[in-house]
């Protein structure tokens, strides 16, 4: 995955090889990778080479480059509530975010685990009577209310804002915005502010969801035989 700063809805580049070479060079990729992309032809007819393995490798590169997915990237602020009646939003439907913090899929999986935890805590075990096995009773309203808690929303907001900050910092190409982002990061890493920054990150990322991690460990991991 490579990031490119370009206007929204920009058309595909005509010279795809040159575009990728410039992109990889700017990103300081390994020169061997840049050379492979630069020397990959647009078409590789099977009759032009007697080396079948090399031909297949070149065709794989050509097809991979032609099928490269190029999309605009968006994020959004989380809604004030993740639920309405019996419907619950999780994952990207609740909080699409930039990929630069590496927490998009993690946050979606965590949402699912937290929802399972809330349903588990709102479930009353069945009490068999007259020889008839009754289904467990689930208080759906209580489960949803527990899921849509302040701590969950605070953690989600933090991850979204950190992802946005990392994306802006990574994609900044000069000017005031780039300077401010770099200055804010350097300021946060200065002593003793780095201790406060580390404490906040540790608290929000790890301590706020401690119960969810304990639930996942106790109920969702395979049991050793």
Q: 3-class secondary structure for the chain?
A: CCCCCCCCCCCCCCCHHHHHHHHHHHCCCCHHHHHHHHHCCCCCCHHHCCCHHHHHHHHHHHHHHHCCCCCCCCCCCCCCCCEECCEECCHHHCCCCCHHHCCHHHHHHHHHHHHHHHHHHCEECCCCECCECCCCEECHHHHHHHHCCHHHHHHHHHHHHHHHHHHHHHHCCCHHHHHHHHHHHHHHCCCCHHHHHHHHHHHHHHHCCHHHHHHHHHHHCCCCC
Residue 12 clears pLDDT 60, i.e. is over it: yes
Taking residues 165-188, report their average pLDDT: 75
Backbone angles phi, psi at 71, to 5 degrees: -135, 160
Domain residue limits, the chain: 16-66, 83-220
Q: Which tokens go with 21?
A: 């070479």
Q: Which tokens go with 222?
A: 């395979």
Cα distance between residue 31 and residue 113, in whole Å: 42
Q: What is the mean pLDDT of the chain?
A: 77
| Tens of pLDDT, residues 107-165 | 999 999 999 999 988 887 765 555 555 567 888 888 888 898 888 888 899 899 888 88
pLDDT at 223: 62
Taking residues 74-87, report their average pLDDT: 88
**Residue closest to 79 by CA, chosen among 165, 161, 164, 153:** 153
Taking residues 68-94, report their average pLDDT: 85
């Amino acid at each position: 995955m490579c990031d490119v700063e370009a206007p929204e809805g920009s058309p595909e580049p005509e010279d795809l090889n040159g575009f990728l070479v410039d992109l990889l060079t700017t990103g300081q990729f390994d020169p061997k990778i840049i050379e492979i992309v630069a020397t990959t032809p647009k078409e590789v007819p099977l009759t032009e080479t007697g080396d079948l393995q090399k031909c297949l490798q070149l065709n794989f590169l050509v097809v991979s480059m032609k099928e490269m997915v190029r999309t605009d990237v968006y994020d959004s602020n989380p809604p004030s509530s993740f639920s309405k009646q019996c419907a619950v939003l999780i994952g990207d439907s609740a909080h699409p975010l930039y990929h630069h913090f590496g927490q998009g899929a993690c946050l979606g999986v965590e949402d699912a685990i937290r929802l399972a935890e809330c349903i588990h805590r709102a479930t009353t075990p069945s009490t068999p009577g007259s020889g008839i096995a009754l289904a467990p009773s689930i208080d759906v309203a209580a489960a949803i209310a527990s899921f849509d808690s302040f701590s969950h929303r605070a953690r989600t907001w933090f991850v979204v804002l950190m992802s946005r900050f990392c994306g802006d910092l990574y994609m900044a190409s000069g000017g005031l915005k780039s300077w401010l982002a770099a200055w804010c990061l350097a300021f946060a890493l200065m002593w003793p502010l780095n201790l406060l920054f580390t404490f906040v990150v540790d608290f929000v990322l790890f301590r706020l969801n401690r119960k969810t991690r304990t639930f996942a460990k106790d109920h969702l991991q395979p049991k050793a035989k």
